[in-house]
Structure 1
């Protein structure tokens, strides 16, 4: 399912709002993921053995910034994708960022966009696994 023109406009508009404070919203995204799935902390080598509050970890901050800039929206394990924890955390973060502009239509647009991205990442991961195995 592709984004409609209107959905694409909504995603771009809200993305511009998020870009105004990427450091804050990138950390909030990861903190929401860890609230819902504390085991996600173990996916990051720089958090595994740390007693430090994750949002104070400079390595997490750097990682979150990279992810939030859409180089890839979490190459997380399939459990995270299947439960859509990342998707829900992202949508809640965007809702917080855009405030009154948030609507069911914008939520739907981001949902479609995220689902497309997650499918593309999973397909790429499968292709990488096949080429590595050969």
Structure 2
């Protein structure tokens, strides 16, 4: 069936809400990642040397915005093109960075759970729905699949 117009609209609507308070939602997002997987802290250079998540860390905010925005853009691409299309240079960079950071498949599930929980809080009980959750989950899964494929290319280069 593909990614529907309704799913794209749900992602765009919730992205607009997230953008209203990126500092708060960035902090929440990373707090949830570390709540779910405390050892992940060492995978982020901007968290590694801090005893707690720094509230005013511009790198934390920038990284969270990238994750939120790329997932939102993935949703739009799924609707328009039927697949996630990321520039080769960006995808190559993402694959290399994730490999070098020691990211493995289960880490993507941690980030997905943190993303969905952040969105649920942003939207509130009255606007959050299973449909919205499914739309973001699909967009994230497609983006994660593209990054994982590139990670595989980085660890198994063609001879």
Structure 1-normalised TM-score? 0.80
Structure 1 partner of 2:145:
119
How many residues matched? 129
Q: What are the equivalent positions in structure 2 for 1:37-52 lying under 5 Å apart?
A: 37-51=37-51
Q: 1:27 to 1:91 in 2, by over 3 A?
A: same
Corresponding residue for residue 11 of structure 1: 11
Aligned-pair distance for 1:66? 4.1
SS at match of 1:30: helix
Change (3 A) 1:44 1:68: same
Deviations 1:71-109 (A, max 9, x none): 87x94711312xx11111100100110112101111111
- Identify unmatched segments of 5+ residues in structure 1: none
Q: Indicate how the Cα distance of structure 1 residues 104 and 63 shifts in structure 2: closer, same or farther if over 3 A, else same.
A: closer
Give the whole-Å Cα distance in 2 for the aligned partners of 1:106 and 1:44. 28
Other-structure match for 1:54: 53
SS of structure 1 residue aligned to 2:144: helix
- Stretch of structure 1 that moved more, 1-10 or 33-42: 1-10
Matches of 1:65 and 1:11, distance apart in 2: 15
1:62-73 equivalent positions in 2, closer than 5 A: 62-70=62-70
RMSD, matched Cα: 2.5
